[in-house]
Amino acid sequence: MVMKNPDVEFCGYCITHPSESKINFRIQTRGALPAVEPFRKGLNDLMGVCQHVLSTFERSMKEFRAQKEEEMQ
């Protein structure tokens, strides 16, 4: 998500030690943009994606079940 932002020059993560649950997440922007903005935008975009996936999935399930009902009758 953050990689899809054209302002981001570098984005990566690494896990410091497998026994600790910590991730080092690095974002570098080109220009004067504060790096927190792409992070925030990425999270918001991801929420938007999940919301859309959820509604599309539930709609498809409803349609599938309605179609099966029709076939059975």
Partner 1 sequence: MAARRGTDEMRDRVVLGEFGVRNVHTTDFPGNYPGYEDAWDQRRFEEAFRVDVIREEGDTLEFDMVGIDAAIANAFRRILLAEVPTMAVEKVFVYNNTSIVQDEILAHRLGLIPIRADPRLFEYRNQGDQEGTEIDTLQFQLKIKCKRNPQAAKESSDPDELYFNHKVYSKHMTWVPLGNQTDLFPDADFRPVHDDILIALLRPGQEIDVLMHCVKGIGKDHAKFSPVATASYRLLPDITLLQPIEDEAAETLQKCFSPGVIEIQNINGKKVARVANARLDTFSREIFRHEGLKNLVRLARVRNHYIFSVESTGILPPDVLVSEAIKILMGKCQRFLNELDSVSME
Contacts with partner 1 by CB under 8 A lie at 1, 3-6, 36, 39-40, 43-54, 56-61, 63-65, 68
Q: How far is the CB of 56 from partner 1 (least distance, A)?
A: 5
Q: How far is the CB of 60 from partner 1 (least distance, A)?
A: 4
Q: How far is the CB of 58 from partner 1 (least distance, A)?
A: 7
The b/e string for 37-67 (b: 16+ C-beta within 10 A; e otherwise) is ebbebbeeeeeeeeeeeeeeeeeeeeeeeee
